[in-house]
């Protein structure tokens, strides 16, 4: 059963339809307000090259946030996405450097992501390890694997850098390829969550895991697959990154878990599970990327930007708790 929020007035009576729409569209209004502020703050914001840069950045981190949405809908968390990106980046860059065909590299990158996600899923379901602890351990271990494999140095794609550039830096009909990939992932995720029994089970587990189990849902299997999805999408992001940067960095993906969580929570997905969706996450992704772009245009330090992102997450959780109460 999909959990839906019923907004009420102070007397407990349901709010009129138009007021419910306004409340549910709050993040969209916030995005529009940010765009207006940005265009006033910097004349460069609305320049085509800056807008293209925004959608490219949103596409890369947005793919990770889709997987994070699946995880958080089950009341879980995945702190390992950045490290998975790094492992895929250095391993697949090394494969390209040694002349491995691109289709094999693409499949290998997705498989590595699925493998790490599957290990997370097994630890959480069979090992009964809390998601926070399991994925935190994988985050540390994954980063260590990336550093060990690459000896702490960037891995060049070699002569394959130009041929592989299409995935992260190419365009089709004027639309950047990563944006096209994001669009495809969004459509698939919406269909999976809203129109399949798997999606209904994800919402049910997040809403009430015991009730979901009693209704015949295999909770462990669903949760396992949710982490595999997150791992695969992290692997895909790693492939896009090495294509765009033409190098595999062992530090790739650092901080992406923070960005993804911020996007999901700002988009209205509850950290307590069972409520939210991909559409909201995409609006949240746009908000985070636009805020980062505004701060960059204003010359704000990247370190200060991390403070802003952290405050945004805390504020979003506080608003979520207030709404639930």
pLDDT in tens, 97-133: 988 999 999 999 999 999 999 999 999 999 999 999 9
pLDDT given for residue 221 in this prediction: 95
Question: CATH 1.10.620: does it fit domain 27-35+44-324?
Answer: no
pLDDT given for residue 26 in this prediction: 67
> How many Cα atoms are found within 13 Å in the side-chain-facing hemisphere of 135?
24
Give mean pLDDT, residues 60-88: 95
Give mean pLDDT, residues 216-239: 95
pLDDT band for 19, please (50, 70, 90 cuts): very low
pLDDT given for residue 321 in this prediction: 65
Q: In degrees rounded to 5, what are phi and psi of residue 176?
A: -55, 140
Domain boundaries, the chain: 27-35+44-324
pLDDT given for residue 16 in this prediction: 53
Going by C-alpha positions, the residue among 95, 90, 135, 94 that lies closest to residue 116 is 135
**pLDDT above 50 for 220:** yes
**pLDDT above 50 for 163:** yes
Q: What is the pTM of this model?
A: 0.86
pLDDT given for residue 322 in this prediction: 67
Give mean pLDDT, residues 151-180: 86
One-letter-per-residue 3-state SS of the chain: CCCCCCCECCCCCECCHHHHHHHHCHHHHHHHHHHHHHHHHCCCCCCHHHHHHHHHHHHHHHHHHHHHHHHHHCCCCCCCHHHHHHHHHHHHHHHHHCCCCHHHHHHHHHHHHHHHHHHHHHHHHCCCCCHHHHHHHHHHHHHHHHHHHHCCCCEECHHHHHHHCHHHHCEECCEEHHHHHHHHHHHHHHHHHHHCHHHHHHHHHHHCHHHHHHCCCCHHHHHHHHHHHHHHHHHHHHHHHHHHHCEECCCCCCCHHHHHHHHHHHCCCCCCCCCCCHHHHHHHHHHHHHHHHHHHHCCCCHHHHHHHHHHHHHHHHHHHHHHHC
pLDDT band for 6, please (50, 70, 90 cuts): very low
Please give the structure tokens belonging to residue 63.
Answer: 């793919």
């Amino acid at each position: 059963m999909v959990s839906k929020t019923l907004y009420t007035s102070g007397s407990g009576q349901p709010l009129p339809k138009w007021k419910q729409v306004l409340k549910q569209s709050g993040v969209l209004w916030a995005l529009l307000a940010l765009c207006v502020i940005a265009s006033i703050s910097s004349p460069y914001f609305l320049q085509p090259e800056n807008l293209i840069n925004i959608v490219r950045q949103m596409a890369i981190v947005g793919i990770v946030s889709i997987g994070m949405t699946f995880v958080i809908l089950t009341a879980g968390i995945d702190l390992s996405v950045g490290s998975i990106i790094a492992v895929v980046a250095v391993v697949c860059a090394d494969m390209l450097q040694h002349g491995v065909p691109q289709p094999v590299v693409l499949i290998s990158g997705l498989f590595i992501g699925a493998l790490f996600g599957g290990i997370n899923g097994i630890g959480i379901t069979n090992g009964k390890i809390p998601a926070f602890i399991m994925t935190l351990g994988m985050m540390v271990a994954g980063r260590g694997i990336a550093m060990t494999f690459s000896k702490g140095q960037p891995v060049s794609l070699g002569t394959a850098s130009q041929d592989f550039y299409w995935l992260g830096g190419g365009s089709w009909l004027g639309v950047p390829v990563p944006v096209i990939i994001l669009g495809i992932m969004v459509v698939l995720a919406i269909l999976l969550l809203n129109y399949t029994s798997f999606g209904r089970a994800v919402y049910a587990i997040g809403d009430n895991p015991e009730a979901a189990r009693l209704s015949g849902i295999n909770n462990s299997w669903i949760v396992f697959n949710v982490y595999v999805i997150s791992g695969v999408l992290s692997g895909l992001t790693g492939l896009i990154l090495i294509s765009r940067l033409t190098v595999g960095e062992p530090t790739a993906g650092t901080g992406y878990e923070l960005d993804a969580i911020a996007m999901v929570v700002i988009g209205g997905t509850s950290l307590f599970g069972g409520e939210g969706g991909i559409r909201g996450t995409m609006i949240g992704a746009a908000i985070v990327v636009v805020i980062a772009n505004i701060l960059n245009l204003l010359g704000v330090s990247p370190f200060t930007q991390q403070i802003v992102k952290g405050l945004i997450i805390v504020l979003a959780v506080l608003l979520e708790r207030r709404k639930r109460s």
